[in-house]
Structure 1
Amino acid sequence: MAYTIPETIRSTATAGERLLFRTLKTYLPDDYIVYFEPEIRGKRPDFVIIGPDLGLVVLEVKDYTKNTLFQLNHDEWTIISAAGEQTTVKSPLKQARDNMFHIVDVLKKDKNLIHLEGKYQFQLKFPYGYGAVFTRLYQKDFVQEGLYAVIDPNLCLTRDEIDPDKETFSEENLFEKILNMFIVPYRLRTPLTKEEIDAIRYHLFPEVRISAEFKPPVPYQDQLLLSLHDIKAMDLHQENLAKQIGDKNRLIRGVAGSGKTLILASRAKLLAKQHPDWKILILCYNISLAQGIRQMIHHMLNEPDSLFDFDFTKEDGKAETKWDNIIVRNFHEWLKYDLRITERQIPSILEKLEKNEAILPMYDAILVDEGQDFESEWLALISKRLNPATQSLLLVEDRAQTIYKRKRSYLQDTGLSFQGRSKILNINYRNTAQIVKFAWDFYRTHSVLKNKVAHREFEGEIIAPQSTRRKGPEPGIFKAENFAQEMNMVVRQIQKLHEEKNVPYSEILILYRVKRTHRQNIIDTIKRSLEQGQIPYYWLTEDETAKRKFSRDDNTVKISTIESSKGLDFQAVFIVNVDNMPFPLEEDKEREVSLLYIGMTRAKEYLCLSYSGESEFTKYFERIREERQNSKDTKEKYVR
């Protein structure tokens, strides 16, 4: 069964489009991707098929009958409408051909997708083709009406060739016909790799882009080519979610690292593109997360659809684009600067809004990240600032990351039901398999909510994460004599990662639970140790100004509380002073469990926990350390 985007076809599609959609989905191989009406640089081909051993095929679908057709040639068809009027249109094959070359022209600019030498120099590495599908005409109709004189039989599919209910239908024939729609004479010697398919998606669908290393276009003989490396794009499930969230109110529940914020940002971009007149609001709880989302949105909205539209004469490689219709705020910033109220005023404001006695800004779409952190009254206020005509509210949450006690009933809070309007993201893309297992084992062992874990949709409150197959080192556990020694170890490890593993300082994060205790000043020791090691740093949580000025990419090691790291991720994360967890003054142990789980899942590749004292959590990690040591000793003994 092929992977379709969108997952299901829209209800307004024609009967013929729905039939072809089901047939392609059912009978094409599992590793094929079928796009229905994708928007590609201002054009919307009916179907685009990408297959590792196939290449790329564009299909145009027509529901014409014999009575529809009046006068035909290779370029133009005159058809008769249901009202009896004659209209001249472009030939279906010419439409498909033009759409195909529109796509090919985009892809041929990527140096990694073309032949650089030989007979097919500057042609795509893979075949590409096009065809037309006639959902209400049969092969006998083509013969009787002489249609094969203007339509190449190799480039068209008829009803009896796409309808499984017809006796003449054959899966093998369907596949063979699609294979024969190519206009280039070569076949793929080796299947397209995942990286090459991701590169195709990266160019055709800007909304799936996450990041890539790329150099400005450079002349290669008589061509101007771009070179992309280390491409990161949304996976197909994430792309489907971003494109098919649907209208009205929606809920996305996802595990840490599943790309929830990325999908939210992509959704905001799509809405801004589709509705340039809409006023769009993005809210979250943390100041630093709001700044991170702001930077993500800025990057996504300012990147042109075509990377060849970059102005490389500019210092940052691109011209600045203003998107005044998207506002990103943390909740209390929104209250202060946009609504001009305080949190204490919310109950009275809700009453006044109910009586139409207050005038506050309205929004056509509101997207809420980390929804589990929002109070009921906050959500009630948000829902009342939403345009009732659009009802475009997107809530994104992960209840395993809940660190604030909030009673939750979205129906009561917002007046909107999310039943049947929810999606689950349970694959963790951020962390290595080792980090996912390490963090989840800890959470499952200590959380009182462990009995509410959901392994499938709607079975419980907490979603169990599934990891990708990306491997990495086991998370480090280090015990020191005192905190100064602990920080000396952290500094040595940062230097090693930076010098030996080429991890930039901007990809390193140090997390702490509290900045000082009666015994020692934690933050001063962290800063002093980094200064002695000549490591540049930025104290993200020094104050509100520091949070608002936070730049994800500046070349410094970031220092933050665990709370303020929500929604962020770094290649390497050091959680220090773990013996201060659970924090003695925190009555809610569940919050401490969630906090440490959040901290651990910020790490994409390297994770290290360190402590110099003892607590309930460090006892757990000590047992893991001992098990690792015993296992190591046993192996060494066996080798000897």
Structure 2
Amino acid sequence: MATMIPENISGLSSVTAGEKRVFKLFKELLPDDYIVWYELRVEKRHPDFIIVGPDLGLVVIEVKDWQVGSIVSADKNNYDLKTDIGITINPQKQARKYMWEIINKLKKDSKLIGQSGKSKGQQLIFNYGHGVIFTRIARKSFEKHGLTETIDKEVVIFQDDIKNIEDNKDSNLLKEKIISILPFYFKDNVLKNEHIARIRGNIFKEVKLESDNDTVFKVMNLKQEQYAKGLGYGHRVIRGVAGSGKTIVLTCRAKYLSEVHLDWKILMLCYNTSLAAYLRKIVDTKSHNNIEIKHFHNWINEIFKKVDMESGIYQDEKITNNIFNITDEKLNTLDKYDAILIDEGQDLEEEWLRFIVKMLRNPEHSHLVLASDGAQNLYSRKYTLKSVGIKAKGRTIIMRENYRNTKEILEFSHRFITDDKIHKSFDKEDNDFFIDPKSSLRNGPDPRLIKCSDFHEEINVIANQIKELKALGVDYRDICILYFYGKQLGIIESKMLSNNIYYFPICKSAKNKKMFNYDQDRVKISTIHSAKGLDFKYVFICGIYKGLSKRYNESKKLIYVGMTRAREELRITYSIDSDITRNIIEIAPKTNLELKILKKRLEKDNFKKSQEEAAISKEVEVNKEIQKPKPKRKSILGRIMSIFK
């Protein structure tokens, strides 16, 4: 069964019966490692279907539901139809045009160009072609009406071909038919996964995650692309565990909508200022100028200014009161949005969400997507979607797979968050969305736990370990230090400066939060709250303090979120005794438990050993002295004679 993007088109009103038929055929009978895209864009700038397979290459398909009797006239350029379509482009010419647009785009990627043989540096490394499927015209009827002069029969799959494949459920026959469309077919031209990723990212820019430096080329996975393009319209909810890619799906959806609906006004909202800065970078709002990306507090204060209300306020209660006082008359003066996409929806107050829904051009039918994470509900928001006007019953996507963390990090954080004391207080939503360690797709080193004498020593240890990582070739940009409250930042900064470590304090000011840039080669320093939605290869958590135990459940959820910011390695330092640190010690991997204590014990043992060795050495020397042969005593005459010498 092929991977279809979107996953389903049966509920779409704009899809023809023939397209649905072909979609079903491709989905059920093409091989598992084939990818098929159905084009949903309103602007017809892309073909009906694009098929990519490792042994196939790339094929562009146009599907036509026409009946032969509806064709008035035809030539190599145009077809004149009796239907409302009237004169339209020849489908083979149309498919060929789309194919060459794609191929010329792919030829710009040097990694897809052959580097050996006669075609070195010139030809793509895979087969490609284009074709037409007539779902209601049989081969004989096509020939009888003289249409073979307008389209090459070799690139056409006819109604009777489709029926034969359907009746026999013959996957091999379908594959052979598609391969027969290709002008040339070389069996040795087999696409690797990295080549398919580059094809995806070059054709569909919205799936590309990082800028291409000719070696780094990252794209979202296929499941995430299916979610982003198959959401449908109206109100939708994306719920999932941390690291499942909710933010990636939202950004892809925003870019996709921007290209599909050029006249739409699109808003992306999130609760975290630094996340908003990151989203602006990956969405590239200069290229997608109909997308606004805003941090909620800044956005709502802009609204307050527009309706002549007090602005520049960031206290939640004051914001809620202001929103409550916005009259319908004032609301009607504001520009509305065709689509609003909300990340970190679990952190928004009920009244805030209710107002956001009102900012849709049509509150009931315009497009709204809310992404939320049960485990990251750090502020204990409690509301129902229905109560705020979000009508998403039966329109929820659940993302349970984790693509961010290693299995070891997930097992550690899962043991931490599911101890008996806190587990009994979880509601169903919490339990559903903590990450199952089995969902991780990769392994890595165990998290490290390091006991220190005080917070200053914690930061000394972290600084030394950062220098060790740097010596091993790790970039500063891949490292993050997470702390809990403002006063800790000064100590961290001081230690970074004294150790000549380049750093960027995300939470030092509102300006810094807006300036946040993943690519800047600096160690990122942040509170856990401000790091929500972000992740790094190496994460240090420091500064656990006794006051956290007073809010045990909330604090554990907060630390859990901090733990799951780490993609590759997690290291935790601590210097106090509390319920939370005792819990971390209890669940820590034994191989890394109390590294600092073990080190001190080793140092103590070495000192003791050296003392023992010194004592033994002294004893040996004494024994040597004792065992030395005594000089022979001189005779009395000899001693007298020596006096006179």
The alignment's TM-score, normalised by the length of structure 1, stands at: 0.83
Q: 1:76 to 1:546 in 2, by over 3 A?
A: closer
Aligned to 1:223: none
Tell me how far apart the structure 2 counterparts of residues 18 and 581 of structure 1 sit (CA, whole Å): 61
Q: 1:465 to 1:366 in 2, by over 3 A?
A: farther
Please say if 1:567 is aligned against 2:539.
no
Tell me how far apart the structure 1 counterparts of residues 318 and 156 of structure 2 sit (CA, whole Å): 66
Please say if 1:393 is aligned against 2:373.
no
Tell me how far apart the structure 2 counterparts of residues 583 and 136 of structure 1 sit (CA, whole Å): 69
Among candidates 476, 497, 504, match of residue 448 of structure 2: 476
Aligned to 1:613: 576
2:446, 2:592 within 8 Å by CA — same for their partners in 1? no
Please say if 1:498 is aligned against 2:470.
yes
1:513, 1:581 within 8 Å by CA — same for their partners in 2? no
**Displacement, 1:410?**
1.2
1:352, 1:358 within 8 Å by CA — same for their partners in 2? no
Aligned to 1:314: none
Please say if 1:508 is aligned against 2:479.
yes
Task: For residue 210 of structure 1, give the secondary structure of its aligned residue in structure 2.
Answer: coil
Aligned to 2:18: 16
Q: 1:77 to 1:281 in 2, by over 3 A?
A: closer
Among candidates 554, 557, 568, match of residue 594 of structure 1: 557
- The structure with more helix, counted as a fraction of residues: 2
Aligned to 2:398: 424
2:407, 2:437 within 8 Å by CA — same for their partners in 1? no
**Displacement, 1:384?**
2.1
Tell me how far apart the structure 1 counterparts of residues 207 and 501 of structure 2 sit (CA, whole Å): 35
Q: 1:269 to 1:166 in 2, by over 3 A?
A: closer
Tell me how far apart the structure 2 counterparts of residues 24 and 67 of structure 1 sit (CA, whole Å): 27
2:2, 2:34 within 8 Å by CA — same for their partners in 1? yes
Aligned residue type for 2:519: D
Return 33-42 or 106-115, whichever deviates more: 33-42
Partner deviation per Cα, 1:472-531 (whole Å, 9 max, x = no partner): 22222212233333222211211111121x222122111112344xxxxx3343223222
In angstroms, what is the RMSD of aligned CA positions?
3.1
Return 56-65 or 23-32, whichever deviates more: 56-65
Among candidates 249, 253, 266, match of residue 280 of structure 1: 266
Aligned residue type for 2:561: I
Please say if 1:238 is aligned against 2:240.
no
Tell me how far apart the structure 2 counterparts of residues 234 and 322 of structure 1 sit (CA, whole Å): 19
Task: For residue 340 of structure 2, give the secondary structure of its aligned residue in structure 1.
Answer: strand
2:285, 2:291 within 8 Å by CA — same for their partners in 1? no
Partner deviation per Cα, 1:18-76 (whole Å, 9 max, x = no partner): 10000000000111101112669972211110011111111111112221234445x23
Please say if 1:366 is aligned against 2:366.
no
Aligned to 1:316: none
**Displacement, 1:258?**
2.0
Partner deviation per Cα, 1:596-637 (whole Å, 9 max, x = no partner): 11111111222111112222232233234463369x99xxxx
Aligned to 2:101: 102
Q: 1:533 to 1:357 in 2, by over 3 A?
A: closer
Aligned to 2:4: 4
Tell me how far apart the structure 1 counterparts of residues 171 and 390 of structure 2 sit (CA, whole Å): 45
Aligned to 2:636: none
Aligned residue type for 2:449: I
**Displacement, 1:466?**
5.6
Aligned to 1:485: 457
**Displacement, 1:143?**
5.3
Tell me how far apart the structure 1 counterparts of residues 323 and 525 of structure 2 sit (CA, whole Å): 38
Aligned to 1:200: 199
Aligned to 1:225: none
Tell me how far apart the structure 1 counterparts of residues 149 and 262 of structure 2 sit (CA, whole Å): 46
Aligned to 1:117: 116
Q: 1:167 to 1:140 in 2, by over 3 A?
A: farther
Aligned residue type for 1:479: K
Partner deviation per Cα, 1:161-187 (whole Å, 9 max, x = no partner): 223786466332222111111112422
Tell me how far apart the structure 2 counterparts of residues 280 and 628 of structure 1 sit (CA, whole Å): 50
1:454, 1:463 within 8 Å by CA — same for their partners in 2? no
Aligned to 1:51: 53
Aligned residue type for 2:482: L
Consecutive unaligned residues in structure 2, runs of 5 or more:
599-645
Aligned to 1:329: 294
Tell me how far apart the structure 2 counterparts of residues 185 and 276 of structure 1 sit (CA, whole Å): 38
Aligned to 1:209: 208
Q: 1:207 to 1:481 in 2, by over 3 A?
A: same
Tell me how far apart the structure 2 counterparts of residues 466 and 387 of structure 1 sit (CA, whole Å): 42
Tell me how far apart the structure 2 counterparts of residues 436 and 356 of structure 1 sit (CA, whole Å): 50
**Displacement, 1:376?**
0.7
Q: 1:596 to 1:104 in 2, by over 3 A?
A: same
Q: 1:108 to 1:583 in 2, by over 3 A?
A: same
2:239, 2:373 within 8 Å by CA — same for their partners in 1? yes
Tell me how far apart the structure 1 counterparts of residues 406 and 43 of structure 2 sit (CA, whole Å): 35
Aligned to 2:618: none
Return 270-279 or 538-547, whichever deviates more: 270-279
1:510, 1:574 within 8 Å by CA — same for their partners in 2? yes
1:251, 1:395 within 8 Å by CA — same for their partners in 2? yes
Tell me how far apart the structure 2 counterparts of residues 196 and 96 of structure 1 sit (CA, whole Å): 23
Tell me how far apart the structure 1 counterparts of residues 148 and 509 of structure 2 sit (CA, whole Å): 74
In the comparison of the two structures, how many residue pairs are matched? 581
Q: 1:196 to 1:582 in 2, by over 3 A?
A: farther
Task: For residue 184 of structure 1, give the secondary structure of its aligned residue in structure 2.
Answer: coil
Task: For residue 68 of structure 2, give the secondary structure of its aligned residue in structure 1.
Answer: coil
Among candidates 430, 445, 449, match of residue 419 of structure 2: 445
Aligned residue type for 1:484: H
Tell me how far apart the structure 2 counterparts of residues 392 and 127 of structure 1 sit (CA, whole Å): 39
1:360, 1:385 within 8 Å by CA — same for their partners in 2? no
Aligned to 1:301: 285
Partner deviation per Cα, 1:155-212 (whole Å, 9 max, x = no partner): 22122322378646633222211111111242235x3211110000011000001014
Aligned residue type for 2:453: E
Please say if 1:80 is aligned against 2:81.
yes
Return 527-536 or 286-295, whichever deviates more: 286-295
Q: 1:146 to 1:461 in 2, by over 3 A?
A: same
Please say if 1:35 is aligned against 2:24.
no
**Displacement, 1:536?**
1.8
Return 460-469 or 87-96, whichever deviates more: 460-469
Aligned to 2:520: 554
Tell me how far apart the structure 1 counterparts of residues 188 and 285 of structure 2 sit (CA, whole Å): 36
Aligned to 2:626: none
Consecutive unaligned residues in structure 1, runs of 5 or more:
215-227, 303-320, 517-521, 634-640
1:162, 1:169 within 8 Å by CA — same for their partners in 2? no
Aligned to 2:180: 180
Radius of gyration: which is bigger?
A: 2
- The structure with more strand, counted as a fraction of residues: 1
Q: 1:345 to 1:621 in 2, by over 3 A?
A: closer
Aligned residue type for 1:327: E
Aligned to 2:629: none
Aligned residue type for 1:262: I
Aligned to 1:405: 380
Q: 1:77 to 1:555 in 2, by over 3 A?
A: closer
Q: 1:129 to 1:448 in 2, by over 3 A?
A: same
User: Once the two structures are aligned, what percentage of the paired residues are identical?
Assistant: 37
**Displacement, 1:268?**
2.6
Aligned to 1:220: none
Please say if 1:379 is aligned against 2:379.
no
Q: 1:128 to 1:454 in 2, by over 3 A?
A: farther
Return 97-106 or 466-475, whichever deviates more: 466-475
Tell me how far apart the structure 1 counterparts of residues 295 and 250 of structure 2 sit (CA, whole Å): 15
